[in-house]
Amino acid sequence: MPVMLDDVDALAKVDASGMLRQMTALADQLDRSLSSDVRIDQGTEKLCLCGLGGSAMGGDVLCDHMERTSRAMASVVRDVTLPEWVDRGTLAILISYSGNTRETLAMYEEARRRKATTAVITSGGRLQQLSAENGDPAIIVPSGLQPRAALGHLLGAAASVVGAAGLSSIDKDLRNMLPAIREELRACAPQVPLDENPAKQVAMRLQDKIPFVYSSRGVRPAGRRWQTQINENSKMLCLYGELPEADHNQVVGWVDGDRRPECQPVFLRAPSDQGMMADIVRATISIFEDFRLDPVVVDLRGGSALENIMRGMVLGDHVSYYLAMLKGVDPSPVSSISELKKRLG
Q: What is the pLDDT of residues 66-88, one digit of tens each?
A: 999 999 999 999 999 999 999 99
337 inside domain: no
Residue 61's pLDDT band, with cuts at 50, 70 and 90, is: very high
pTM over 0.75: yes
345 inside domain: no
Q: How many independent structural domains does the chain possess?
A: 2
Could you say which of 145, 177, 209 is where a domain stops? 177
Same domain, 166 and 200: no
CATH number of residue 150's parent domain: 3.40.50.10490
> Left (φ > 0), alpha (ψ -120 to 50) or beta: where does 121 sit?
beta
Q: What is the pLDDT of residues 101-127, one digit of tens each?
A: 999 999 999 999 999 999 999 999 999
3 inside domain: no
Residue 141 to residue 97: CA distance in whole angstroms: 8
2 inside domain: no
Same domain, 232 and 128: no
Same domain, 129 and 273: no
Q: What is the pLDDT of residues 138-197, one digit of tens each?
A: 999 999 999 999 999 999 999 999 999 999 999 999 999 999 999 999 999 999 999 999
Same domain, 204 and 167: no
| pLDDT value at residue 178 | 98
183 inside domain: no
Domain ranges, residue 204: 8-15+192-327
Same domain, 134 and 248: no
With both helix axes pointing from N to C terminus, report the angle between 102-113 and 125-134 in degrees, rounded to the nearest 10.
Answer: 20
Same domain, 171 and 41: yes
Residue 42's pLDDT band, with cuts at 50, 70 and 90, is: confident
Where helices occur in 42-116 by DSSP H, the ranges are: 54-69, 102-113
Residue 205 to residue 195: CA distance in whole angstroms: 13
334 inside domain: no
Same domain, 95 and 145: yes
185 inside domain: no
Q: Which of 156, 198, 205 is nearest to 37 (CA)?
A: 156
Same domain, 95 and 124: yes
3-state secondary structure of 238: coil
Beta bridge partner(s), residue 47: 74, 91
Same domain, 200 and 291: yes
Compute how many other C-beta atoms are within 10 angstroms of the C-beta atom of residue 217.
Answer: 14
**β 73-77/296-299 pair status:** unpaired
Q: What is the pLDDT of residues 295-320, one digit of tens each?
A: 999 999 999 999 999 999 999 999 99
Residue 278 to residue 272: CA distance in whole angstroms: 8
| pLDDT value at residue 2 | 67
Same domain, 169 and 34: yes
Q: Residue 1: pLDDT above 70?
A: no
Q: Which of 45, 54, 51, 44 is nearest to 107 (CA)?
A: 51
Give the residue numbers marked as catalytic. 232, 248, 341
Same domain, 25 and 62: yes
335 inside domain: no
Same domain, 102 and 201: no
